[in-house]
Amino acid sequence: MGGADKGEIASQLVAQQMAEYVTTRQELVLDDQHLEQALILVGEALKAYIGANPLVNRMGSTLALLQLHQQGATIAHLGDSRVFQIRNGEIIFQTKDHKQVNDMVEAGIITAHQAKTHPWRNRLSRAAMVTSMDLQNPNYQVDMPDLVLIDDILPDDYFFLCTDGVLEQVDEYVLGELLKTTVPDAEKLDILLALCEGKVKDNYSGYLIHIKQSSL
């Protein structure tokens, strides 16, 4: 995450803690309470790393999470990593980035057009962030993600999870048009990431999930 130390380690710790929380609890469907408990573990892991590495002053990560289950799909996101649901080449759902400019647009301080070039356009309003000062606060918790339950899922829908670096090169049109093709799914993801190679300023990664059949 921009502006923080050891962002790659922070993202790894967040992914490990979230995956462990879900996989060690059978039949768990994430809700606000479980998500809060998982984020407490995330915060503790980040604080433990900073405590063991005094040269690291702050570390943080965004989060994009998709859990598929009998009721549909639970999506949690934090920061500017994004989750898309695509059907027949159309984006039917996407998460909204936690950025300061988005908050300013909602408050009527700036317009959506102004937000695109605003000097704060890359500042996050929420993230899984811990600083060295937070080590002294036993009650400190990282920001809570937004949580969404989607029950409208059909066979051949796609979910695409990606970091903001991907979005520098891949817009909604490119994503939708590619997913309408008969190219194998693994190649589709390779194409998306190849569009970013050497052309983006930020880190880029993504996961593409193809729904073969719906259990709903």
Q: Which long-range contacts (CB under 8 A, 24 or more apart) does 166-171 make?
A: 166/192, 166/193, 166/196, 166/200, 166/204, 166/205, 166/206, 167/82, 168/196, 168/199, 168/200, 168/201, 168/202, 168/204, 169/195, 169/196, 169/199, 169/200, 170/195, 170/196
Which residue is associated with the tokens 């009650």?
A: 139
pLDDT category at 5 given cuts 50, 70, 90 is: low
* Average pLDDT, integer, range 38-45: 94
* Average pLDDT, integer, range 177-203: 93
Q: Distance between CA 89 and CA 93 in Å, rounded? A: 12
Predicted pLDDT of residue 122? 87
Q: Distance between CA 142 and CA 61 in Å, rounded? A: 10
Q: Which residues contact 60 (CB under 8 A, 6 or more apart)?
A: 1, 4, 7, 10, 46, 127, 128, 129, 130, 142
Residue-wise pLDDT for 57-115, tens only, equals 999 999 999 999 999 999 999 999 999 999 999 999 999 999 999 999 999 999 999 99
- DSSP element (H, E) containing 150: strand 146-150
| Phi and psi torsions of 56, nearest 5° | -90, 115
Average pLDDT score, the chain:
92
Q: Distance between CA 129 and CA 7 in Å, rounded? A: 10
Q: Distance between CA 167 and CA 28 in Å, rounded? A: 31
DSSP state of 140: -
Predicted pLDDT of residue 138? 85
pLDDT category at 2 given cuts 50, 70, 90 is: very low
- DSSP element (H, E) containing 33: helix 32-52
DSSP 101-125: HHHHHHTTSS-HHHHTT-TTTT-BS
Predicted pLDDT of residue 202? 82
Domain boundaries, the chain: 1-69+126-149
Residue-wise pLDDT for 103-142, tens only, equals 999 999 999 999 989 999 989 999 999 999 999 898 898 9
Predicted pLDDT of residue 214? 65
